[in-house]
A and B are shown apart, each in its own frame.
Chain A
Amino acid sequence: MNFLAHLPEERLFDCYLAQRSGETIDPRMADHLSDCEACAARYADLARFMDDLCEDGACEADALFTPERLRAQQQQIARRLEQVGRRARVISFPGQLVRRTMTAPGSHSAPRWVAAAAAAGLFVGVAVGAGYRFGSHPVGLEQTLARQAPLPARGLNPAQLSADDAFLSDLEVALERPHTRELIAFDALTPHVREVTAR
Chain B
Amino acid sequence: MSADHKPAPGDARDVTADSGTTPSVRRPASAPSGPVSEDTRLAVEIRGLVDRGALDEARERFAELVARHQRRASRIAYQYLRDLSEADEAVQDAFVKVFSHISSYREAWPFEVWFTKILVNGCLDRRKARMRRDRWFVGGEVSRSDEARASAASAPANPEQQLLARERRARIAAAVDRLDGRQRTVFMLSQYGGRTPREISAITGLNESTVRVHLFRAARKLRGLLGGRS
Q: A residues near B, CB below 8 A?
A: 9-10, 13-14, 17, 21, 45-46, 48-50, 52-54, 56-66, 69-70, 73-74, 76-78, 80-82, 84-85
B87 to chain A: which residues have CB within 8 Å? Answer: 61
Are B153 and A81 interface neighbours, CB within 8 A? no
Are B192 and A58 interface neighbours, CB within 8 A? yes
Are B197 and A21 interface neighbours, CB within 8 A? yes
**Mostly helix, strand, loop or mixed at chain B's interface?**
helix
Are B75 and A62 interface neighbours, CB within 8 A? yes
Question: Which 4 pairs, one residue from A and one from B, show the smallest C-beta to C-beta distance?
Answer: A63-B154, A63-B153, A61-B75, A21-B196
**CA A71 to CA B160, docked complex, whole Å:** 32
Are B71 and A62 interface neighbours, CB within 8 A? yes
- Interface hub of A53, A58, A62 (most chain B Cβ within 10 A): A53
Are B78 and A61 interface neighbours, CB within 8 A? yes
**CA A46 to CA B218, docked complex, whole Å:** 13
B96 to chain A: which residues have CB within 8 Å? Answer: 77, 80-81, 84
Identify the stretch in B2-10, B14-22, B220-228 within 8 Å (CB) of chain A at 4 or more residues. B220-228
Whether a CB of chain A sits under 8 angstroms from the CB of B27 is no
B151 to chain A: which residues have CB within 8 Å? Answer: 60, 63
Are A52 and B229 interface neighbours, CB within 8 A? yes
**Known contacts A64-B150, A65-B78, A74-B67; A54 and B92 CB within 8 A of each other:** no
Nearest A residue to B77 via CB reads A61
Having A46-B223, A49-B229, A80-B92, one finds 20 other A-B pairs with CB under 8 Å, namely: A13-B212, A49-B219, A49-B230, A50-B219, A53-B222, A54-B192, A56-B168, A57-B172, A59-B154, A60-B169, A61-B78, A63-B151, A64-B78, A64-B150, A74-B63, A74-B66, A81-B59, A81-B62, A81-B96, A84-B96
Whether a CB of chain A sits under 8 angstroms from the CB of B74 is yes
**CA A77 to CA B63, docked complex, whole Å:** 9
**Known contacts A54-B191, A82-B59; A70 and B74 CB within 8 A of each other:** yes
**CA A63 to CA B146, docked complex, whole Å:** 10
**Known contacts A54-B191, A70-B70, A78-B59; A64 and B92 CB within 8 A of each other:** no
Rounded to whole Å, the gap between the CB of A77 and the closest CB of chain B is: 5
**Known contacts A57-B191, A62-B154, A84-B99; A49 and B223 CB within 8 A of each other:** yes
B121 to chain A: which residues have CB within 8 Å? Answer: none
Nearest B residue to A17 via CB reads B197
**CA A7 to CA B67, docked complex, whole Å:** 42
**Known contacts A13-B219, A57-B172, A74-B63; A85 and B55 CB within 8 A of each other:** yes
Residues of B56-72 whose CB lies within 8 A of A: 59, 62-63, 66-67, 70-71
Are A73 and B192 interface neighbours, CB within 8 A? no
Residues of B111-151 whose CB lies within 8 A of A: 146-147, 149-151
Are B91 and A73 interface neighbours, CB within 8 A? yes
A59 to chain B: which residues have CB within 8 Å? Answer: 154
Are B169 and A56 interface neighbours, CB within 8 A? yes
B219 to chain A: which residues have CB within 8 Å? Answer: 13, 46, 49-50
Are A63 and B63 interface neighbours, CB within 8 A? no
**Known contacts A78-B63, A84-B96; A57 and B196 CB within 8 A of each other:** no
Nearest B residue to A80 via CB reads B96
Are A58 and B75 interface neighbours, CB within 8 A? yes
**CA A76 to CA B216, docked complex, whole Å:** 38
Are A60 and B216 interface neighbours, CB within 8 A? no
**Known contacts A59-B154, A76-B92; A17 and B71 CB within 8 A of each other:** no
Rounded to whole Å, the gap between the CB of A86 and the closest CB of chain B is: 9
Whether a CB of chain A sits under 8 angstroms from the CB of B43 is no
A65 to chain B: which residues have CB within 8 Å? Answer: 71, 74-75, 78, 84, 88
Nearest A residue to B56 via CB reads A82
Rounded to whole Å, the gap between the CB of B174 and the closest CB of chain A is: 13
A78 to chain B: which residues have CB within 8 Å? Answer: 59, 63
Whether a CB of chain A sits under 8 angstroms from the CB of B215 is yes
Are B212 and A77 interface neighbours, CB within 8 A? no
